[in-house]
């Protein structure tokens, strides 16, 4: 553990991640990973969660870190893979898939973009002892790409395409990542949003109301908009 | 006559530069905004982004793995002649897109909206988009590529004249707050605003304002330029920085493009060009020379021409 001039705490953790390390993580920590992680997003979730297929490998024996990402990768002429940059995709869209995914794979750490809702942390993450880390930027694709040492395997690449395939990656000093949730379900994004929300009302004070309001600002479709 | 071979070469090179090298105006703007950022997490994010640009340049790898939608803007001098005409030009731009996607590599992002079929090369139905504009008294063509990221951060609204500047401020903040939370817009961003025009042109003007003007550039109309300054300051006063963390670095710059619109309305669109504001330009001269730059210089006086070119007779 170390801190730099910013006062932010920095952790370097092994993947698969141990229960002990999971306990150390606090919202707002800067985290780097060494070890093995795998990618999985809507294509993989559709097959495993919706269609009931088994994961292409026994993930319990591979890693417990699921990265919501698809790499900028190309299949070389000799059949090997070249990875350029990697960036996460917005995780809130996968809320429905995670309960089954956790149960089937033993996943304990999700890396993605933008965090999940406090409800997801309470109801899905906390019961199984999982935490969420967000990528930074979010465009730090080149830095994260540097952290990838080797493509261990690429599963379902024919069926799902490069972007949606499950990539198993060996990483070194993979980051920076920022911890959003901890084992108790606290969320950095939630606390930051709450602080920002306090100011919002005053920003709009004095601005006259629009001539026409619109659906979407309310779910009540019976409400008069003018 | 500009050869088709040169067009493909220029376009292929522009794809690499756009994907790998952050334009200097954006990077300088980010360094500038970082100076006044007080939020520690937001400042950490910006620091990481600056390191990321450096890593991308050193390793010659894409700065962001989300390719966004790579697309083309072509400005054609009125006197330019192209080998094979426009059909060959489009064929070459599509080929350059596919080849560069594999060779950089960029992530193939383009899929069919329903079947999700992926050709693995960023080329497909109506993709990449190719927009055209023209320039009088020139015999060159400018090939501009933009890799526009972001599923989040753009919105359109039909405002009305009575809504006035307050309506513009309101919609501007609505959009930044909605998409700025959790940093879904990958801010600090260049915010482009389309004001007026028909609905579709309003969207196009805003998109072009975000992607085809550089940081520091101001609209030649002083009233519009004043509004650009005002909205930039307003965005940076929301209290939100990079990734939606507490801070102030939200808007690197604000660009507004206007078009005359229906007398009863005031359509407005908002677009954000993210931390991977990727654009590159290649000018091909009539003698085949290729000159590269990062400023699209899209909005020339001819593009923004204000009125009819002939003398109007005053009504009696
Ligand atoms: S919005 Fe921009 S920086 Fe963010 S992931 Fe997409 S392309 Fe990258």
Integer Cα distance of A155 and A62 in angstroms: 13
Distance (Å) from CA B148 to ligand 1 centroid: 8
pLDDT number for residue B308: 77
**Residues B182, A204: C-beta atoms closer than 8 Å:** no
Say whether pLDDT at A4 is over 70: no
pLDDT number for residue A75: 81
- B66 contact A CB<8A: yes
* The pairing of beta strand A9-15 with beta strand B189-196: unpaired
Calculate ∠ Cα A59-A65-A66, nearest 5°: 85
For residue B243, the chain A residues in CB contact (below 8 A) are 134, 136-138, 178
**Coil/strand/helix, residue B21:** coil
Selected residues 149-168 of chain B with any CB under 8 Å from a CB in chain A: 149, 151-152, 157-160, 162-164, 166-167
Tens-digit pLDDT profile for residues A115-160: 999 999 999 999 999 999 999 988 899 999 999 999 999 999 989 9
Say whether pLDDT at A215 is over 70: no
Whether residues B229 and B245 fall in one domain:
yes
Q: How far is CA A126 from CA A8, A22, A23, A129, A134, in A?
A: 24, 12, 12, 5, 17
Percent of chain B with pLDDT over 90: 91
Confidence of residue B189 (pLDDT cuts 50, 70, 90): very high
Tens-digit pLDDT profile for residues B88-130: 999 999 999 999 999 999 988 999 999 988 898 999 999 999 9
Integer Cα distance of B124 and A130 in angstroms: 40
For residue A178, the chain B residues in CB contact (below 8 A) are 41, 243
Six-digit token pair at B23?
A: 């334009």
Domain range annotation of chain A: 2-186
pLDDT number for residue A219: 58
Report the chain A residue with the minimal C-alpha distance to residue B116. Answer: A160
Q: Of the given ranges (A134-138, A207-211, B215-219, B305-309), which has the lowest mean pLDDT?
A: B305-309
Say whether pLDDT at A222 is over 70: no
Whether residues B198 and B98 fall in one domain:
no
Whether residues B203 and B285 fall in one domain:
no
Q: Of the given ranges (A39-43, B115-119, B228-232, B309-313), which has the lowest mean pLDDT?
A: B309-313
H or E element at residue B75 = strand B69-77
Whether residues B162 and B143 fall in one domain:
no
Q: Of the given ranges (A195-209, B8-22, B80-94, B274-288), which has the lowest mean pLDDT?
A: A195-209
- Contact assessment for residue B313 and residue B44, using Cβ atoms and an 8 Å cutoff: no
**Residues A189, B182: C-beta atoms closer than 8 Å:** yes
Q: How far is CA B94 from CA A30, A56, B12, B80, B131, in A?
A: 41, 35, 10, 21, 13
Tens-digit pLDDT profile for residues B236-257: 999 999 999 999 999 999 999 9
Q: Of the given ranges (A13-22, A69-78, A134-143, B86-95), which has the lowest mean pLDDT?
A: A69-78
**Coil/strand/helix, residue A9:** strand
Query: Is residue B242 included in any domain, yes or no?
Result: yes
Instruction: Determine which residue's CA is closest to atom 3 belonging to ligand 1.
Output: A139
User: Does residue B153's CB lie within 6 angstroms of at least one atom of ligand 1?
Assistant: no
Pocket of ligand 1, candidates B46, B68, B252: which has the most ligand atoms within 8 Å of its Cβ, to mutate? B68
Six-digit token pair at B162?
A: 């009575």
- Contact assessment for residue B194 and residue B207, using Cβ atoms and an 8 Å cutoff: yes
Integer Cα distance of B107 and A162 in angstroms: 8
pLDDT number for residue B207: 98
Integer Cα distance of A188 and A27 in angstroms: 5
Q: Of the given ranges (A130-134, A207-211, A217-221), which has the lowest mean pLDDT?
A: A217-221
Say whether pLDDT at A3 is over 70: no
pLDDT number for residue A85: 86
Query: Is residue B25 included in any domain, yes or no?
Result: no
**Residues A73, B149: C-beta atoms closer than 8 Å:** no
Q: What's the total number of domains in chain B?
A: 2
**Residues A84, B65: C-beta atoms closer than 8 Å:** yes
Say whether pLDDT at A62 is over 90: yes
Percent of chain A with pLDDT over 90: 71
Query: Is residue B225 included in any domain, yes or no?
Result: yes
pLDDT number for residue A5: 54
Distance (Å) from CA B52 to ligand 1 centroid: 13
Integer Cα distance of A84 and A74 in angstroms: 8
Q: What is the mean pLDDT of chain B?
A: 95
Name the one residue in this structure whose structure tokens are 């109309």: B221
Name the one residue in this structure whose structure tokens are 């966004």: B68
Q: What is the mean pLDDT of chain A?
A: 90
- The class (CATH top level) of A2-186 is alpha beta
Whether residues B200 and B289 fall in one domain:
no
pLDDT number for residue A36: 98
Which residues lie below 8 Å from residue A196, measured CB to CB, with a gap of 6+?
Answer: B181, B238, B239, B240, B244, B246
Radius of gyration of chain B (CA): 20
CB atoms < 10 A from the CB of A116, how many?
A: 25
Whether residues B258 and B172 fall in one domain:
yes
Percent of chain B with pLDDT over 70: 98
pLDDT number for residue B315: 61
Whether residues B81 and B197 fall in one domain:
no
Confidence of residue B152 (pLDDT cuts 50, 70, 90): confident
Whether residues B11 and B138 fall in one domain:
yes
User: Does residue A105's CB lie within 6 angstroms of at least one atom of ligand 1?
Assistant: no
Confidence of residue A226 (pLDDT cuts 50, 70, 90): low
Residue B11 domain boundaries: 4-19+63-149+279-293
Confidence of residue B312 (pLDDT cuts 50, 70, 90): low
- B109 contact A CB<8A: yes
Say whether pLDDT at A216 is over 60: no
CB nearest B44 (choices: A6, A139, A203)? A6
């Amino acid at each position: 553990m170390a801190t730099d001039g910013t006062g932010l705490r920095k952790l370097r953790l092994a993947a698969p991640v141990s229960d002990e390390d999971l306990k150390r993580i606090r919202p707002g920590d800067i985290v780097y990973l060494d070890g093995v992680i795998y990618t999985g997003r809507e294509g993989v979730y559709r097959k495993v969660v919706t269609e009931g297929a088994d994961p292409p490998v026994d993930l319990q024996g591979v890693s417990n870190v699921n990265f919501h990402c698809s790499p900028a990768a190309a299949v070389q002429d000799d059949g090997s893979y070249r990875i350029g940059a990697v960036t996460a995709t917005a995780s809130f869209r996968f809320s429905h898939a995670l309960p089954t995914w956790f149960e089937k794979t033993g996943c304990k750490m999700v890396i993605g973009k933008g965090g999940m809702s406090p409800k997801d942390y309470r109801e899905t993450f906390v019961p199984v002892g999982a935490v969420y880390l967000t990528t930074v930027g979010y465009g730090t694709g080149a830095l994260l790409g540097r952290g990838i040492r080797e493509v261990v395997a690429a599963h379902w690449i024919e069926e799902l395409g490069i972007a949606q395939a499950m990539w198993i990656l060996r990483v070194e000093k993979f980051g920076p990542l920022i911890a959003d949730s901890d084992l108790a379900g606290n969320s950095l994004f939630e606390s930051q949003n709450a602080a920002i929300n306090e100011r919002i009302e005053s920003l709009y004070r004095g601005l006259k109301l629009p001539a026409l309001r619109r659906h979407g600002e309310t779910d009540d479709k019976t409400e008069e908009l003018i | 006559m500009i050869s088709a071979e040169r067009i493909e070469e220029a376009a292929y090179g522009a794809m690499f530069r756009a994907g790998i090298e952050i334009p200097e105006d954006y990077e300088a703007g980010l360094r500038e905004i970082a100076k006044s950022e007080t939020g520690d997490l937001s400042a950490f994010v910006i620091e990481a982004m600056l390191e990321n640009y450096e890593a991308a340049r050193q390793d010659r790898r894409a700065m962001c793995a989300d390719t966004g939608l790579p697309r083309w803007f072509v400005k054609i001098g009125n006197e330019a002649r192209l080998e094979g005409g426009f059909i060959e030009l489009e064929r070459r731009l599509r080929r350059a897109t596919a080849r560069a996607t594999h060779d950089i590599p960029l992530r193939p992002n383009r899929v069919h909206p329903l079947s999700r079929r992926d050709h693995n090369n960023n080329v497909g139905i109506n993709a990449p988009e190719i927009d055209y504009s023209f320039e009088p008294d020139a015999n060159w063509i400018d090939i501009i590529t933009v890799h526009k990221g972001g599923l989040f951060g753009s919105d359109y609204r039909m405002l009305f004249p009575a809504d006035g500047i307050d309506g513009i401020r309101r919609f501007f903040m609505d959009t930044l707050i909605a998409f700025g939370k959790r940093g879904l817009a990958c801010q600090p961003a260049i915010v482009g605003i389309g004001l007026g025009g028909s609905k579709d042109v309003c969207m196009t003007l805003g998109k072009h304002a975000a992607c085809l003007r550089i940081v520091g550039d101001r609209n030649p109309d002083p009233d519009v330029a004043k509004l650009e300054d005002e909205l930039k300051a307003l965005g940076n006063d929301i209290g939100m920085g990079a990734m939606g963390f507490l801070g102030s670095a939200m808007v690197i710059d604000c660009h507004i493009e206007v078009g005359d619109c229906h007398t009863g309305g005031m359509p407005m669109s908002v677009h954000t060009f993210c931390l991977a504001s990727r654009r590159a330009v290649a000018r091909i001269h009539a003698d085949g020379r290729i000159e590269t730059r990062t400023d699209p210089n899209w909005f020339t006086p001819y593009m923004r021409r204000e009125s009819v070119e002939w003398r109007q007779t005053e009504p009696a």
